[in-house]
Amino acid sequence: MVQWFPACSRPFGGYVLSLNIKAFCLGPLANNGYLIWDEDSKEAFAVDPPMDAELMASFAARSDLRVTKILNTHGHFDHIAGNALMKKFSGAGVFIHKADLGLLKRGAAHAEMFGLEMDPSPPPDGFLKEGDELILGSGKIMVLETPGHTPGGVSFYTEGDLFSGDSLFEGSIGRTDLEGGDLDSLVDSIRTKLFALPPETLVHPGHGPETTIGREMGGNPFVGGSAARRRDQP
């Protein structure tokens, strides 16, 4: 099953130094997975490969991309469902924050609770943490710890582009009523980490259309300016 959001039926611009970005909206939960690559070396990272990740692998093969890392923003099953396929296709290592290791291990069982099947994710080849810089050709991707949706939620930032997973959406934020969720932590993550980025930063979320940091700072009803004013009122 493949579902496409209008904003994701085309390659995003995303040209930062020599890095290119393509979004894939796939699977029964309409997940956004991403390929980021360096044009010169054709080295690529896969971010949150979802169900139906065959389309990501097919695009990488047609484009002669060499996927060297599989990066997970968090451990919920819909964001790791394509890990096994992408690793089999590319041999790339899987990377996630250590605090979400339990979710990664239980991914297939969680999928079954939703009536879905997925191949269990391979174990991680390494763990991500705040301040890690992942070199990709002439560009680099920085890891930001953004817990709240899950204990080990992270976002990936490269100058001009942010991959926010299920932390920040257009006009919304990730749910915090699932295992390990914490609303106060999520709000703090967004306001202190993500809103510290330049306002023109393009946000590529785990679901739904792209947005910008500036747009969400001004109008997001959960963490934007109006939300902050409401919290400050007696």
- What is the rounded distance in angstroms from the CA atom of residue 48 to the CA atom of residue 45? 10
Instruction: Encode the chain (234 residues) as per-residue pLDDT tens digits.
Output: 222 333 343 333 333 345 899 999 999 999 999 999 999 999 999 999 999 999 999 999 999 999 999 999 999 999 999 999 999 999 999 999 999 999 999 999 999 999 999 999 999 999 999 999 999 998 999 999 999 999 999 999 998 999 999 999 999 999 999 989 999 999 999 999 999 999 999 999 999 999 999 999 999 999 987 665 444 444
Q: Which CATH number fits domain 6-232: 3.40.50.300, 3.30.43.10, 3.60.15.10, 3.30.1480.10?
A: 3.60.15.10
Which residues lie closer than 8 Å to 106 by C-beta, 6 or more apart?
Answer: none
Of 147, 112, 138, 165, the C-alpha closest to 43 is: 138
pLDDT value at residue 218:
95
Q: Read off the tokens for 54.
A: 């065959």
pLDDT value at residue 138:
87
| Cα separation of the two ends of the chain | 49
| Secondary structure of residue 96 in the 3-state scheme | strand
pLDDT value at residue 18:
53
Please, how many CA atoms are within 13 Å of residue 160, restricted to the half-sphere of its CB? 12
Q: Are 98 and 127 in contact (CB under 8 A)?
A: yes
- Alpha carbon distances (Å) from 6 to 40, 66, 69: 29, 27, 27
- What is the rounded distance in angstroms from the CA atom of residue 75 to the CA atom of residue 23? 19
pLDDT in tens, 78-94: 999 999 999 999 999 99
Q: Read off the tokens for 214.
A: 């500036």
pLDDT value at residue 224:
86
**Which is it for strands 154-158 and 139-145: parallel, antiparallel or unpaired?**
antiparallel
The values of phi and psi at residue 82, to 5°, are: -95, 5
- What is the rounded distance in angstroms from the CA atom of residue 109 to the CA atom of residue 1? 20
Q: Where is 213: in which H helix or E strand?
A: helix 213-219
Query: Domains of the chain: which residue ranges?
Result: 6-232
Which residues lie closer than 8 Å to 179 by C-beta, 6 or more apart?
Answer: 103, 150
- What is the rounded distance in angstroms from the CA atom of residue 174 to the CA atom of residue 113? 20
Which residues lie closer than 8 Å to 158 by C-beta, 6 or more apart?
Answer: 16, 19, 36, 139, 140, 141, 142
